Chains A and B, each alone.
Chain A
Amino acid sequence: MEKRELGIYVHIPFCARKCAYCDFLSFPAGKNVQQDYFYALQKEIASFVPSGDYEAVSVYFGGGTPSLPDPGQIAWTLDVIRETFAVRKDAEITIECNPGTLDRHRLETYKRAGFNRLSIGLQSADNTLLETLGRIHTFETFRREYRQAREAGFDNISIDLMYGLPNQTLSSWKDTLEKITELDPEHVSAYSLIVEEGTPFWDRYHEDDEEKRRGGRPLFLPDEETEGQMLELLKSSLLDIGICRYEISSYAKPGYESRHNTGYWLKREYAGFGLGASGQIRDFRYRNPSRLEGYLNHAQPDGYVEEKTFLSGEDEISETMILGLRMIRGVDLQRFEERFHVRAEDLFKDVIDRFRKAGLLEITDHHLHLTDRGLDVSNLVMCEFL
């Protein structure tokens, strides 16, 4: 029987301090809580009963700040994964890190444990902006730790950036990009700021509701024009060092595209462990409890799952489209037909025709993909595939 490819996500909810824009499930916590958490997490992983012959092709420790807790616990958790799952030798194994928490000891521990990719949340090289965002680090801290990571042997590093930030200018962004390209990373994730509900940014943004009703954005965010220029600058600067956009917010040197994340966009199955983590195994998507107490108290097989949703054939099709369109390459139409026994070009004929005419969609090389303009307004296109 053919092995089924699997991605594994592990959630580490702890962070040094909550950032002003962050709506992820993360919070600062004391040593004892962390201890209990890892105990429950490892138990959850060990009790996973695979419903088929799976082979893990990627493992991703995300957060929060996975580089904050004891690196020994992280390494041990990865060991438990290896004991439970067949992890492929060449699997991509990533840990998310935040500057200000890394040091030689940690980096070497990760390396020894088998992590082969780091994703570092720099966000900006402008120290004033870092403060606005509520980050604990400066650019200098990041640069020191980045170099240590290289020294520790990490040859696949991704840097997270944000643009469209409050008071951010084009020249500040240009400066950040110059500093980044100098460091020559393999991968960059760059997000334009989305002000999420329940964050301090949201509260500040909506204080200026009156302005918003008049159709303008509140004054402290860069206007759309500037944000558009920021995106153009990002693309061209990265291209200069051989990094190409391969997804709405992801850029990589050829061969360094995140295999774990690509798995989500290609609708590969994935298992999620830890607080609030999601997984999709066969026809079911599930989510763990997002309250810490609930999670810690359900450390028994199957006791974790808080929400379980069955994905119908229609769900699979629409998700294949909306996730696939996130990638620059687009949706592989041949693969689509093999999987669903229907041609996407027929099933969505009206929508595809309309958006091709409007210059938002194109078909190249048996792939349906968004154009540059289409990528800017992708929601408009994607919602028609639901």
Chain B
Amino acid sequence: MSEIEISKIRNFCIIAHIDHGKSTLADRIIEKTGLLTSREMLAQVLDNMDIERERGITIKSQSVRIIYHAKDGEEYILNLIDTPGHVDFNYEVSRSLAACDGAVLVVDAAQGIEAQTLGNVYLALDHDLEILPVINKIDLPSADPDRVASEIEDVIGLDCEDAPRISAKTGLNVDQVLEAIVEKLPAPSGDSSAPLSALIFDSLYDPYRGVIVFCRLFDGTLKKGMKVRMMATGTTAEVVEVGYFGPGQFIPCDSLEAGMVGYFTAFLKNVKDTRVGDTVTDAQRPCDQALPGYKDPLPMVYCGVYPADSARYQDLRDALEKLQLNDASLQFEPETSAALGFGFRCGFLGLLHLEVVQERLEREYNLDLVTTAPGVIYKVHKTDGTCFDLTNPSNLPDPSEIEYMEEPVVAAEIMVTTEYIGPIMQLCQERRGIYKETEYIESGRALLRYDMPLNEVIYDFFDALKSRSRGYASFDYELKEYTRSSLCKLDILVNREQVDALSFIVFEGSAYERGRKMCEKLKEEIPRQLFEIPIQAAVNGRIIARETVRALRKDVLAKCYGGDITRKKKLLEKQKEGKKRMRQVGSVEIPQKAFMSVLKLDEQ
């Protein structure tokens, strides 16, 4: 595979709203080009993270090179660069897009355009990608491809006359997509003899080879033995192996040239050295400037993560370190809590990222975790003129030392059918949203734009949105700015002792309401114990709400004879197991899940 004409290469990605069939189409394309049988597909291509498959989302991007024999008799190299499918990973998405020249836009023939469809299209347009619309799921009884085609034309302004109408599930008309990719998406441009300029769009840690860096070459040639430099981090390394992506495997080759997509290894120990978005260049003959758009990964959401069994602190540290090898956006530093002992304050891109990391720690590293309520990063401006980022509520200084505080605000877009506009606007208002505008997409559908504090978004906003729109609303957001806000720390006292891990920062106007709900929730979560337990919410030492867990009167197995011993023992074992999942705070046992209570305050 030495002589590849640049004009025969297509670098593209597939973009879609969640559940519109992005991954299915990707699988079908790979299958159509004859690389794998469908059984191998299941075993190899999709065999990544359980969590991804269970939730139907892509977290880690996958890339694959496909050889396609087009109808014009020529052989084409198609590089499919898969992108993560969630708003938490928008930056990763933007880097993947930057590696492409075109994008296949998949729209569900029944649902039409959704919030993420638009978000992704805007991102793709930002990167000057040629967009190829595809209408999927035409086999559904509720499919209305004509309506969706005109919606795409009206709202996005893409010509849909020739848009393939397919069923990725059954494989119907998928060959039309492949032909359109060859015909309509542009070939890359670039000069293989120019100084090396390659964009890192992903990386993967391999215990044997070190970091495997995924990159797209814009100019120059990448060869084994070459000394390369990452322009943002300054890391230099000698290239050990270069290659391209076979389905489910890495295939080494001699060199990668301008316009191509592939990988290299260089015995790099940590993905931190190979930041997504960074530019790889020749250390001896560097390019003039780095490719645009590099950003340091910035966590947006923080929470405390503690081992349920304090003896496993070191295991948790090891697990976090291993995850970080593969996930540069995960940040953590040690912290201690009076209630929870030794643990880590971890930073995540968003709530989904948090959940994914938490689940991976529990499943892949077999850890039992206690996590505290997630919070955003607040900027605390002190009276002495200094300012710092607050990621742990316990570090909030005394109110007398605080001049003012700022909180992050996001620009949110909510796509909703008009019958639910009322309830959704009410929800946004409850969450301190500032109404911006309503854009009518077509009759019956509208796009609402709000500026909303991020801390209102991370508390089950998505669930509330779904429940108030019967699942019809879709949602996208991006960080907009920090704005000044009246915030305070809500403390929780259990049996008159403050439990640090239960404190959280809250908008002053919501403190009373949240404090009351928090006490109610904790009353449900904390089992009755030998004595009465008051649960109180306080702001600045002033009690604003109280509930009481009554003392346990009776907990006894009335009967136990020969036939029941095994069963009764199991009941007691279960009870003991339940106790293990509790945290001793002072004289009170608090169940681990109570520390997440603040997240569920809107549940009825």
Contact = CB atoms under 8 A, between A and B. Distances in A.
Interface of A: 7, 9, 11, 62, 191-192, 194, 213, 215, 224-225, 227-228, 248-249, 261, 264-265, 270, 272, 276-280, 285, 287, 309, 318-319, 322-323, 326, 358, 360, 375-380, 382-384, 386
B579 A383 contact: yes
A280 B562 contact: yes
Given A215-B524, A386-B569, A9 B562 contact: yes
B562 A264 contact: yes
Residue from B524, B576, B579 whose CB has the most chain A CB atoms within 10 Å:
B576
Given A194-B558, A264-B562, A285-B565, 20 more contacts: A9-B562, A9-B563, A191-B558, A213-B524, A215-B550, A228-B554, A280-B565, A319-B569, A322-B572, A323-B565, A376-B553, A377-B530, A377-B552, A378-B555, A379-B556, A382-B572, A383-B572, A383-B579, A384-B576, A386-B572
B554 A376 contact: yes
A291 to B, nearest CB: 16
B304 to A, nearest CB: 28
Contact of A380 (B524, B552, B558, B565): B552
Contacts of B562: 7, 9, 264, 270, 272, 278-280
A277 B571 CA distance: 19
A322 B523 CA distance: 30
Nearest to B558: A191
Contacts of A278: 562-563, 565-566
A383 B576 contact: yes
B569 A379 contact: no
B561 interface: yes
A378 B556 contact: yes
B563 A277 contact: yes
Contacts of B565: 264, 278, 280, 285, 319, 323
23 contacts: A192-B554, A194-B557, A215-B523, A215-B550, A225-B553, A248-B560, A261-B561, A264-B562, A265-B560, A278-B565, A278-B566, A280-B562, A280-B565, A358-B530, A376-B555, A377-B552, A378-B556, A380-B530, A380-B552, A382-B572, A383-B575, A383-B576, A384-B576
B183 interface: no
B223 to A, nearest CB: 64
A249 B552 contact: no
A386 B550 contact: no
Contacts of B556: 192, 248, 375-379
Nearest to B587: A358
A196 B416 CA distance: 47
A279 B561 CA distance: 11
B559 interface: yes
Contacts of B560: 248, 264-265, 323, 326
Interface of B: 523-524, 530, 549-550, 552-563, 565-566, 569, 571-573, 575-576, 579
8 nearest interchain CB pairs? A224-B553, A383-B576, A191-B558, A383-B572, A379-B555, A377-B555, A383-B575, A278-B563
A285 B563 CA distance: 10
A379 B559 contact: no
B552 A309 contact: no
Contact of B573 (A191, A270, A386): A386
A64 B560 CA distance: 16
A319 B566 CA distance: 10
Nearest to A250: B559
B588 to A, nearest CB: 13
Nearest to B552: A377
B300 to A, nearest CB: 34
A279 B559 CA distance: 17
Nearest to B563: A278
A272 B563 CA distance: 8
Contacts of B559: 191, 194, 249
A382 B572 CA distance: 7
Given A278-B562, A278-B566, A383-B575, A227 B524 contact: no
B550 to A, nearest CB: 7
Given A322-B572, A384-B576, A386-B573, A379 B563 contact: no
Nearest to B560: A326
A379 B575 contact: yes
Contacts of A224: 553-554
A310 to B, nearest CB: 12
Contacts of B530: 358, 360, 377, 380
A377 B554 contact: yes
A334 to B, nearest CB: 24
Contacts of A248: 556-558, 560
Nearest to A7: B562
Contacts of B561: 62, 261, 264
Given A379-B575, A386-B572, A386-B576, A309 B566 contact: yes
B526 to A, nearest CB: 10
Nearest to A326: B560
A380 B553 CA distance: 11
Contacts of B571: 379
A382 B558 CA distance: 13
Contacts of A277: 563
A189 B559 CA distance: 9
A282 B530 CA distance: 38
A273 B283 CA distance: 84
Contacts of A272: 562-563
Contacts of A379: 555-557, 571-572, 575
Contact of A378 (B549, B557, B563, B569): B557
A338 B435 CA distance: 78
Nearest to B575: A383
Nearest to A359: B530
B279 to A, nearest CB: 57
Given A272-B563, A277-B563, A285-B565, A192 B558 contact: yes
A44 to B, nearest CB: 16
Contacts of A270: 562
A319 B552 CA distance: 25
A322 B524 contact: no
B453 to A, nearest CB: 31
A62 B579 CA distance: 35
Given A191-B558, A383-B573, A386-B569, A276 B563 contact: yes
B433 to A, nearest CB: 31
A375 B569 CA distance: 17
Residue from A249, A261, A380 whose CB has the most chain B CB atoms within 10 Å:
A380
Nearest to B564: A278
Contacts of A326: 560
A192 B555 CA distance: 11
Residue from A7, A192, A287, A382 whose CB has the most chain B CB atoms within 10 Å:
A382
A322 B563 contact: no
A160 B550 CA distance: 32
B554 A227 contact: yes
A191 B564 CA distance: 15
B596 to A, nearest CB: 18
A249 B576 contact: no
B557 A285 contact: no
A305 to B, nearest CB: 14
Contacts of B554: 192, 224, 227-228, 376-377
A11 B562 CA distance: 11
A271 to B, nearest CB: 10
A265 B569 CA distance: 13
Contacts of B575: 379-380, 383
B546 to A, nearest CB: 15
Contacts of A378: 555-557
Contact of A249 (B550, B558, B573): B558
A382 B570 CA distance: 12
A318 B565 CA distance: 12
Contacts of B572: 322, 379, 382-383, 386
Given A9-B562, A279-B562, A380 B576 contact: no
Residue from A249, A285, A377 whose CB has the most chain B CB atoms within 10 Å:
A377
